[in-house]
């Protein structure tokens, strides 16, 4: 098992270090949103990776959700593990948190994880952090003793958050706020990031929820999950799901038209569609995703793609 881990790291992360050096040489001024994974749901495969995002503010990186594939996407985007400051998890569905531990581990094996990193999310995050280290105790303690690595366990700080509107954290780059939104049966947080360069709001997973528009009022960018209703039957059939599965999809997400309404009510500059449901059916075009939202929102609408970068004005 240890040889497999080492081989996997060797095949991916020398390239990551080159990407980090390239990133370090670039300008550290400004802010941009990087869409690391734009497909909703836990299914892997197809042209999109699972949900993950990065907000880069000057020389600091903040990751929002850690679906399967986030480590590889982070590397492909040329982002620098050494600049990671905090991680924010919207809710405890696997497509949003499955690679949390592995993402931090993959930073550690490049000798990039040497400073504290905070991870915020619903109740359960603290257990997840603790259990991940327990699951990988043998590998981690072997590498500490055999390779002289720092102990990563005291550096990752999990923070369970009560399900209420709140300010999450503030540092010299960003102020982060959270808003509970409906995604039954789980608790979901939308996050707002206010930076010197503008504001970004990330919806997480949510059904139509007008208070989200108030939360996003005046933001430069609203990143909102989106459901294409004509694709639900095809998704249900492929997933071998029954009526309960279909009902969850319909009741726990926002249609294209509803997303457009939220963006219009909020008065945001740019609406970014992401967490596409279904997210890997090629017959659904970008124009089809945008069409429903455009009936209500007259601003810029971006149908997001993996590794797309969107600057803050």
Instruction: Tell me which residue of 272, 273, 267 sits closest to 298, measured CA to CA.
Output: 267
Q: Please count the structural domains in the chain.
A: 1
Q: What is the DSSP letter of 153?
A: G
CA–CA distance, 290 with 303 (Å, rounded to integer): 7
Q: What is the pLDDT of residues 9-41, one digit of tens each?
A: 333 444 444 444 444 444 579 999 999 999 999
- Please report, for the domain that includes residue 190, its CATH number: 3.60.15.10
* CB-based contact 88:168 (threshold 8 Å): yes
Q: Which two tokens stand for residue 105?
A: 């581990």
Determine, yes or no, domain membership for 21. Answer: no
Residue 149 lies in a domain: yes
Report for 25-29, 159-163, 251-255: range of highest mean pLDDT: 159-163
On whether residue 24 sits in a domain, the answer given is: no
DSSP code at position 39: B
∠ CA 68-73-77, nearest 5°, is: 160
**Domain residues for 141?**
32-307
The chain-wide mean pLDDT, for the chain, equals 91
The phi and psi torsions of 13 (rounded to 5 degrees) equal -90, -15
The overall pTM is greater than 0.75: yes
d(CA 198, CA 192): 11
């Amino acid at each position: 098992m240890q040889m497999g881990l080492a081989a996997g790291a060797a095949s991916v992360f020398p390239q990551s270090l080159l990407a980090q050096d390239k990133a370090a040489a670039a300008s550290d001024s400004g802010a941009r949103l990087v869409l690391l994974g734009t497909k909703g749901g836990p299914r892997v495969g197809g042209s999109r990776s699972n949900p993950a995002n990065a907000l880069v503010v000057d020389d600091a990186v903040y990751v929002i959700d850690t679906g399967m594939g986030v480590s590889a996407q982070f590397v492909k985007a040329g982002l620098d593990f050494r600049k990671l400051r905090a991680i924010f998890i919207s809710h405890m569905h696997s497509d949003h948190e499955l690679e949390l531990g592995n993402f931090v581990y993959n930073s550690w094996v490049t000798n990039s994880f040497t400073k504290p990193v905070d991870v915020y999310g619903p109740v359960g995050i603290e257990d997840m952090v603790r259990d991940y280290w327990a699951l990988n105790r043998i590998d981690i303690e072997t590498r500490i003793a055999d390779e002289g690595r720092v102990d990563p366990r005291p550096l990752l700080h999990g923070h369970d958050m009560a399900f209420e509107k709140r300010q999450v954290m503030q540092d010299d780059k960003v102020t982060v706020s959270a808003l509970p939104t409906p995604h039954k049966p789980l608790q979901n947080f939308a996050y707002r990031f206010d930076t010197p360069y503008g504001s970004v709001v990330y919806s997480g997973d949510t059904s139509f929820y007008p208070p989200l528009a108030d939360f996003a009022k005046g933001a430069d960018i609203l990143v909102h999950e989106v459901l294409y209703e004509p694709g639900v039957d095809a998704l249900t059939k492929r997933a071998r799901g029954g009526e309960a599965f279909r009902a969850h999809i319909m009741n726990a997400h926002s249609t294209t038209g509803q997303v457009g309404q939220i963006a219009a009510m909020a008065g945001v500059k740019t609406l970014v569609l992401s967490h596409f449901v279904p997210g890997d059916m090629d017959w659904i075009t970008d124009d089809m995703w945008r069409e429903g939202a455009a009936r209500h929102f007259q601003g810029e609408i971006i149908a997001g793609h993996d590794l797309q970068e969107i600057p803050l004005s």
